[in-house]
Amino acid sequence: MAGDIVYFDLETRRTANDVGGWGNKHKMGISVAVTFSTKMNEYRIYTEDEAPELIKQLKAADLVVGFNHIGFDYEVLKGHDIMFDPADLPHSLDMLIELEKVLGHRIKLDAVAAATLGTGKTADGLDALRWWQQGEVAKIAEYCCYDVKVTKCVYEYGVQHGHVKYHDRNGREQIANVDWKA
């Protein structure tokens, strides 16, 4: 695909328990959001007060790629712009949704990254929440940038090879065929 592919991830300020359950993702708040644009060849780090600029970048993209960004990150963004509607965004490829179609169950990015790339994530969302509470925003930004890089590398591998690898629930390496067009 020619044009701008934007890889996207965000971390929140609050847990589902803090906001009354998973139905209130829009109340979780953004601690840090990160994008990588293939057109600009750069990462951008956004804070909660920069959500309008983040949404503008996502809307301008030719393709937004993430892992659970449709079911989670977009829902969090709704809390920052009452006019935000994911349907207004360009085509999105959510690798979690695509892999769930192939595997019949949800899978963690770490299980895919570790098998496909030989490296996993550096932390998880609960670590990011703890860092937020401790005021360590730079740690969240570094972690979120790394997640975006991992997302980008997994996507590019899938495009190039027509499959990604993952570790199943028993730790065995498996292959999932994917049809992701770049």
Whose CA is closest to 128, among 54, 180, 53, 76? 76
End-to-end CA distance of the chain: 5
pLDDT at 74: 92
Q: Considering only 30-34, 113-117, 138-142, which range has the smallest mean pLDDT? A: 138-142
Cβ distance 32 to 45 under 8 Å? yes
- Flag whether pLDDT at 182 surpasses 60: no
**pTM across the whole model:** 0.90
Average pLDDT, the chain: 89
Residue 21: pLDDT over 60: yes
The fold of 5-177 is Nucleotidyltransferase; domain 5 (3.30.420)
Cα 116 from chain centroid (whole Å): 17
Mind listing the pLDDT tens digit for each residue in 22-36? 999 999 899 999 999
Q: Which helix (H) or strand (E) holds 167?
A: strand 163-167
Q: Where are the domains of the chain?
A: 5-177
Give me 55's structure tokens: 């949404």
Say which residues have a Cβ less than 8 Å from residue 39's Cβ, sequence separation at least 6.
Answer: 3, 4
Sign of CA dihedral 102, 103, 105, 106: negative
Q: Encode pLDDT of 94-111 as tens digits.
A: 999 999 999 999 999 989
